[in-house]
Structure 1
Amino acid sequence: MKTRLKITGGIYLVLNPAMELNLLLQKLADALKGGIQVVQIWNNWPAGADKLSLIEHIAGLCRFYRVPLLINQEWQLLQASPFLDGVHFDGIPHYFDTILVNIGKPFLAGITCSGNLDDIAWADEHGLDYVSFCSMFPSSSAGSCTIVMPATVKEAKKMTRMPVFVSGGMTPENIIALKKQAPFDGVAVISGLLSAANPEQKVKQYHQALNYKAD
């Protein structure tokens, strides 16, 4: 029986499937060596993409390191692929109870929160595995996310025992600055790792910053 993986915090890598496949897999392999804890495939597919094949390639690397693999938004792919562990929703999903019935098996789930603490309450009530705030800092990857105040993250940590991630323009430097203002469990990144010359070393820098103990 397949052991269900867990999400507890750490470095959460969001993969851009529009990248050239070999480069994407090499960046992922290096990041996994560095110690990332979660991988999500962003639903930014290139035209004509073979989604199931790409998921299988990515999952082959994630499985070796026992890192959970999630898909962004497209929960139907959990029915089509045995290689996915869960789904990340960009907000509270409509008809969540129907989604649970349709998937028909345990899966990991998280949502993006854009500064609305009602989203935290909903996720906690529905037994989600984590929440992620977007965006803490301006970022091209974060798209239309509004800027979230550290005080909101601090309040969210009082409301739930779920892991709380922060995202949007996160660097090792501003992680430390943010830790001085609010507690959080993990950091979600895209370009911060995918554009790095040495993703393995960059992950270690993120970990060092995340483990910083604020006074």
Structure 2
Amino acid sequence: MKKLAGLYLVIDPSQEHDSLLNKLHTALKGGIDIVQIWDHWPKAQDKETQLEFIKRAKKLTKDFQVPLLMNQDWELAVETGLDGVHFDRLPADFPSIQPQLKGQYIGLTVTNNLEEVQMAEQNSLSYISFCSVFPSPSVDSCDIVQPESIKKAKEISNMPIFLSGGINQENFEQLKALPFNGIAVISGILNEEDPEAAAKKYKEKLQD
């Protein structure tokens, strides 16, 4: 499996599905490298609707040869044949789960606690994602990450490092002094009038 890097888009399935999938398709044309489905389904939504959404999202990402990951719900990721799972925290029984995810990408959200980074390294995960680099309403449960934490993570781990939380076109330059392989974005692309153009702008900044 190739190492993940680049522009990582998180999509929120609590939004109206047709509109969201249209935005996803447009963003993929702008150069998205990885897509994650946030485990944020409406409470009243039935399993059949969830499966149909995943099927449609999977078709779009497959057309662009982009990995599609599921947030937290590893069983749903396995059931629907996705490319991996992103954990906000590792389940207590992760050692028994990991063999079922063989050949899939496994990512983990980490904070200023470097023990989380060491845990990810010890379990040979695919990547880590720091949350939250900047204040963001979508990740209000995350502490603000200190630059030193990211630098230390690079020293103790060979895993790809993603940065997430409140990253936009204006504050991206503040990340330049940090070691990272990609950024994760939600509103910075999906809330824009032209998701394709927004994605292209992020890609340009990543390639500078």
Q: Return the match for 2:112 from 105, 112, 115.
A: 115
1:134-213 aligned at under 5 Å gives the runs: 134-180=131-177, 182-212=178-208
Indicate conservation of the 8 Å contact 1:109/1:128, yes or no.
Answer: yes
Change (3 A) 1:26 1:141: same
Q: What does residue 98 of structure 1 align with?
A: 96
Tell me what 1:61 maps to: 60
Provide the secondary structure at the position in 2 that maps to 1:110. Answer: strand
The answer (yes or no) to whether the contact 2:84–2:101 under 8 Å persists in 1 is no
After TM superposition, which residue ranges in structure 1, 4 or more long, deviate above 6 angstroms?
none
Gaps of 5+ in 1: none
Matched, 1:12 2:8: yes
How far did 1:104 drift?
5.8
Partner SS, residue 145 of structure 2 = coil
Equivalent position SS for 2:137: coil
Distance in 2 (CA, whole Å) between partners of 1:97 and 1:42 is 23
> Corresponding residue for 2:37?
41
Amino acid at match of 2:79: A
Equivalent pairs, count: 205
Query: What is the aligned-residue RMSD (CA, Å)?
Result: 1.4
How far does residue 191 in structure 1 lie from its aligned partner after superposition? 1.0
Q: Which segment drifts farther, 136-145 or 44-53?
A: 44-53
Counterpart in 2 of 1:78?
Answer: 77
User: CA shift at 1:52, angstroms?
Assistant: 1.4
> Counterparts of 2:60 and 2:106 in 1: how far apart (Å)?
21
Q: Percent identity?
A: 45
Q: In 2 relative to 1, CA 104–119 (structure 1 residues): closer, same or farther, beyond 3 Å?
A: closer
Q: Deviations over 1:98-143 (max 9, x none)?
A: 1124x26421100000111111111111111100000011000112
Asked if 1:125 corresponds to 2:126, the answer is no
Report the TM-score when normalising by structure 1: 0.91
- Within 1, Cα distance between the matches of 2:45 and 2:171? 38
| 8 Å contact from structure 2 (residues 129, 162) kept in 1 | yes
How far apart in 1 are the matches of 2:101 and 2:170? 42
Q: Secondary structure at the match of 2:108?
A: strand
Which region of structure 1 is more displaced relative to structure 2, 122-131 or 6-15? 6-15
Partner AA of 2:109 in structure 1: T
Amino acid in structure 1 at the alignment position of 2:175: L
Any stretches of 5+ residues in structure 2 without a counterpart? none
8 Å contact 1:16–1:44 — kept in the other structure? Answer: yes
TM-score in terms of structure 2 length: 0.94
3-state DSSP of counterpart to 2:24: helix
